Structure 1
Amino acid sequence: MRAARRTTLTGLALVTAAAGLAALPPDAEAASPAPTLTTAAPDIDVARVQAHLTELNAIASRNGGNRRSTGQGYRDSVAYVKGRLQAAGYTVTEQACTSGCTRGAGPNLIAEWPYGDASKVYMFGAHLDGVSAGPGINDNGSGSATLLEVALKLAETRPSMAARVRFGWWTDEEQGLNGSDFYVRSLTSAQRSAIKAYYNFDMVASPNGGYFINHINSTAAAPMKAYWDSLSLRPEENTEGAGRSDDYSFEAYGIPTSGYAMGASARKTSTQAAKWGGTAGAAYDRCYHSSCDTTTNINATGLNRSADGVAYTLWQQAVSATALNRAPR
Structure 2
Amino acid sequence: MAGAPAAMAEPRTDVTPPVVTADQVMPHLDALQRIADRDGGNRAHGTQGYRDSVAYVKAALDKAGFRTALHRFTYNGTTDYNLIADWPGGDPEHIVFAGAHLDSVAAGPGINDNGSGSAALLTTALEVSKAHLKPHRHLRFAWWGAEEAGTVGSSAYVRDLSAAERHRIDVYLNVDMAGTKNNQEWLIVDDDPEAFEAFEGYFAARKLPTAKVGTLGSDHESFNDASIPVGGFAKGLDDCYHAACDRVENVDPQTETTSTNAFISTVWQLAARR
Tell me whether the two structures share a fold, i.e. TM-score over 0.5: yes
Deviation by residue 1:275-325 (Cα, 9 ceiling, x = unmatched): xxxxxxxxxx0000001100100112221111111111111011379xxxx
Structure 1: distance between partners of 2:221 and 2:73: 18
**Aligned partner of 2:195: which letter?**
A
Q: Post-superposition shift, 1:217? A: 7.6
Structure 1: distance between partners of 2:222 and 2:244: 28
1:226 corresponding residue in structure 2:
201
- Residues 172 and 224 (structure 1), Cα distance of their counterparts in 2 relative to 1, 3 Å cut: same
* Residues 174-185 of structure 1 mapped to structure 2, 5 A cutoff: 174-185=148-159
Q: Post-superposition shift, 1:218? A: 2.9
**Aligned partner of 2:231: which letter?**
S
Structure 1: distance between partners of 2:234 and 2:273: 27
Deviation by residue 1:140-179 (Cα, 9 ceiling, x = unmatched): 0000011001101100111221010000100000001000
1:12 corresponding residue in structure 2:
none
**Aligned partner of 1:194: which letter?**
R
2:42 to 58, 66, 77: 66
2:134 to 134, 152, 160: 160
1:260 corresponding residue in structure 2:
233
| Contact 1:238/1:261 (<8 A) preserved | no
**Unpaired segments ≥5 residues, structure 2:** 1-13
**Aligned partner of 2:193: which letter?**
S
Structure 1 segments of 4+ aligned residues over 2 angstroms from their partners: 216-220
**Unpaired segments ≥5 residues, structure 1:** 1-37, 265-284, 322-329
Structure 1: distance between partners of 2:213 and 2:153: 22
> Does 1:298 pair with 2:251?
yes
| Contact 1:46/1:307 (<8 A) preserved | no
Q: Post-superposition shift, 1:121? A: 0.2
> Does 1:199 pair with 2:161?
no
| Contact 1:115/1:164 (<8 A) preserved | yes
Structure of greater relative contact order (alpha carbons < 8 Å, 6+ residues apart): 1
Superposed CA RMSD in Å reads 1.6
2:3 corresponding residue in structure 1:
none
Structure 2: distance between partners of 1:196 and 1:217: 9
Higher strand share: 2
Q: Which moved more, 1:217-226 or 1:248-257?
A: 217-226
Higher helix share: 2
- Residues 304 and 82 (structure 1), Cα distance of their counterparts in 2 relative to 1, 3 Å cut: same
1:148 corresponding residue in structure 2:
122
TM-score (norm 2): 0.91
| Contact 2:181/2:250 (<8 A) preserved | yes
Structure 2: distance between partners of 1:104 and 1:64: 18
2:111 corresponding residue in structure 1:
137
Deviation by residue 1:102-132 (Cα, 9 ceiling, x = unmatched): 3214200000001111111000000000001
Structure 2: distance between partners of 1:157 and 1:49: 17
Q: Post-superposition shift, 1:47? A: 1.6
1:83 to 53, 59, 73: 59
1:50 corresponding residue in structure 2:
26
**Aligned partner of 1:143: which letter?**
G
Q: Post-superposition shift, 1:44? A: 2.0
> Does 1:208 pair with 2:208?
no
| Contact 1:216/1:236 (<8 A) preserved | no
